[in-house]
Amino acid sequence: MIQITVPASSANLGAGFDALGIALTLYNRVWIEEADGTVEKPLCIIESVDGTPIPTDETNMIYQSAKLLYERCGHPFKGLHIKQENNIPMTRGLGSSSACLIAGLVGANTLLGSPLSMSDISDLAASLEGHPDNTAPALYGGLVASVMDGGRVHSVSVPVSDRIRFAVFIPDFELKTEVARGILPKQVLREDAVYNLSRAALMTASLFSGRLENLRVAVQDRLHQPYRFQLIADADKVFYTAYELGAYAVAISGAGPSILAIIDIDNKDFIEKAKKELQNSELEGWQVTLLSCDMNGVSVSFQ
Ligand code: HSE
């Protein structure tokens, strides 16, 4: 079997709606091999190795994306045997669906001898996901700025200041991306567009260069977070707590409901204090975890 390791990702980073994303040091692992079915009746054998409930039939996202890649490459598909270890919480705004898409596409591409380039895979993944801001970081690692233009993804991955860590607040409830996108207005004011695009540019340059004093302004957003707050119970309290504990910047992670706080490497008590504060504020449903930026993206090993 081949093993594919894919990082979690946090999209948007405040102002960079559908454009910015960062890979995080939390990983799903997937093992995949061809099954011995027929083209008429492909086999689908899927196991969860850690007990996480996952679809074990043809609706499984890894299976579907792998099958799609076989079809795109004109290769007969006889089914797959897949094992999944799911460490990225699902439907929480941490890129779990993108991680599954990337695992299926990269896994299938590897089984076929790598007929597609990383760039082809990036295009396919983003078209399946609908936007590139989780798929590109999951593929390349790092802080990734992406544009989807005519079905092609143009993206650049850069490292971030090594002073930066991420405290990720994860609630015990799910929020479906369709719902969190469905409440957004179709049109925005020009001043709000300028407000966001200037901050998204500032966020990218500041994370890359280490000008961390800019992050609190750079993370501000008028395009999605003001609408999404109503869908995330106690988000205001989590934002307040993170800023009180010295976070540089706080944002809804992707479409939510998780919340990403960017903190300094020297803010060593942050997690312990945040855990206490979550307990004291009766936010028991929330957990907080310390992560870094993953710089590698997806990786494949042969077993
Ligand atoms: N940019 C996307 C959104 C990320 O905010 O809806 C979630 O998939």
Q: pLDDT band for position 281 (50/70/90)?
A: confident
Return the beta strands (E) in 74-119 as ranges. 79-85
Q: pLDDT band for position 141 (50/70/90)?
A: very high
Ligand 1 within 6 A of 221 CB? no
Ligand 1 centroid – CA 200 distance (Å): 15
Ligand 1 within 6 A of 17 CB? yes
- Closest Cα to atom 5, ligand 1: which residue? 255
Ligand 1 within 6 A of 134 CB? yes
Concatenating the DSSP letter of every residue in 5-20 gives EEEEEEE-TTT-TTTE
Q: pLDDT band for position 135 (50/70/90)?
A: very high
Angle at 132 between CA 185 and CA 171, to 5 degrees: 70
Ligand 1 within 6 A of 11 CB? yes
Q: Is domain 2-159 given the CATH code 3.30.230.10 in the classification?
A: yes
Task: Tell me the domain boundaries of the chain.
Answer: 2-159, 164-291
Ligand 1 within 6 A of 123 CB? no
- 47 in Cβ contact with 35 (< 8 Å): no
Residue of 17, 20, 259 with the most ligand 1 atoms within 8 Å of its CB, for mutation: 17
Atom of ligand 1 nearest to the CA of 130: 8
Kindly report the pTM of this predicted structure: 0.95
Average model confidence (pLDDT) for the chain? 97
Report percent pLDDT > 70 for the chain: 100
CATH class of the domain whose range is 164-291: alpha beta
